[in-house]
Amino acid sequence: CIILFLGLALWGCSGQQSALEPSGEEAASVAQLFWAMLGGGAVIWLGLMALLATAIRGKLGPIDNRAATQLVFWGGAVLPSAALVGLLGYALWLMPGLRPFANSGAPQVIIEVTGRQFWWDVIYRLPGGVQFRTANEIVLPVGQRVEFSLKSTDVIHSFWIPSLAGKVDMIPGRTNRLSLVATKEGRFRGPCAEYCGTSHALMAVEVTSLPVQEFALWTERRKQPSPGVFAPGSELFEKHGCGSCHRVEGTSAASRFGPDLSHLGSRNTLGAGILPNTPETISSFIVRPDAIKPGTHMPAFDMLPPDDIRSIAVWLKGLE
């Protein structure tokens, strides 16, 4: 029964959001530490249970004062101290910054992520001063060190991609750093890991790691407007004032208040990892955003003609 329960519990730890199925150097260290602590804890627990069973069966017999003192000294002070110091040393040894042989090269890519209620503002800073902005989805090169510069403009959020690295808080007024290397290609999910308001549970970031050449192609496309901006629909986006909160590269919409929608059509999900990205879900988000994401700052646009909403949604989905 215990084994079944443990099996079920660990099974729940697999998939695209798993600290125990690492796809990055830093996550591998975290998983290694978890297994070492679990193993150490299991040995101590089994030893204790064996002692307890012996005592219950009356096999220990009465012991004198001197033996009792010895037992408390060795079993109650020396053994736990040695175990804790050993685990502390092991944990310090696993910390990337303290390990000279870790892949500690200078970061090739710097990604500034700002937590907002309830989405992620993402700015890429590439070598040569190249910079572009996106939202809610992050693409990384496999095998290259990436540095995240983590901020918040409203409340405390927390950035955590369990398959790639440990958790770092995003605190208003300060910048925290997280450095990581993805070691495998894949698609991962990161939940906001600090309660930040009504829709905290509806705030996730999608991360995709790609081979270096594909990553270069992806960034190349992000530097220019999407070819889709010239399709019909942009005039409605402009007419209904969407540009007063959003930005779309290649159009007059340039506000940085809400998520950047340039290349929105190429993202896997909508609304910070909560919906599939289709013209239908985009339409329903425009009509009643707070029905999908309670507490969002985006107002409802249910007064607009349904045909206009549909055209805007199709146009946005076409921004690949």
Interface contacts to ligand CUA, rule CB under 6 A? 115, 118, 157, 192, 194-196, 200, 203
Rounded to the nearest whole angstrom, what is the least distance from the CB of residue 197 to ligand CUA in the complex? 7
- Cβ proximity to ligand CUA: between 152 and 311 the closer is 152
CB 207 within 8 A of CB 161: yes
Nearest approach in angstroms of CB 195 to ligand CUA is 6
CB-wise, 194 or 249, nearer to ligand CUA? 194
Residue with tokens 């646009």: 301
What is d(CA 293, CA 272) in angstroms, rounded to the nearest whole number?
A: 10
Contacts (Cβ under 8 Å, ≥6 apart) of 183: 22, 23, 24, 25, 28, 142, 143
Residue position matching structure tokens 């308001």: 197
CB of 9 to ligand CUA, least distance (A): 24
- The total of other beta-carbon atoms located within 10 Å of residue 302's CB is 11
Which of residues 294 and 305 has its CB atom nearest to ligand CUA in the complex?
294
CB-nearer residue toward ligand CUA: 151 or 157: 157
Query: Cβ 297 to ligand CUA, closest distance in Å?
Result: 13
Q: What is the 3-state secondary structure (H, E, C) of 76-123?
A: HHHHHHHHHHHHHHHHHHHCHHHCCCCCCCCCCEEEEEEEECCEEEEE
| In the complex, minimum distance from the CB of residue 122 to ligand CUA, in angstroms, rounded to a whole number | 14
> Based on CB atoms, which residue is closest to ligand CUA, 31 or 207?
207
Pairing of strands 275-276, 130-135: unpaired
Q: What is the CA radius of gyration of the chain?
A: 26
* Smallest separation, CB 68 to ligand CUA (Å): 51
| Residue 193 or 253 with smaller CB distance to ligand CUA | 193
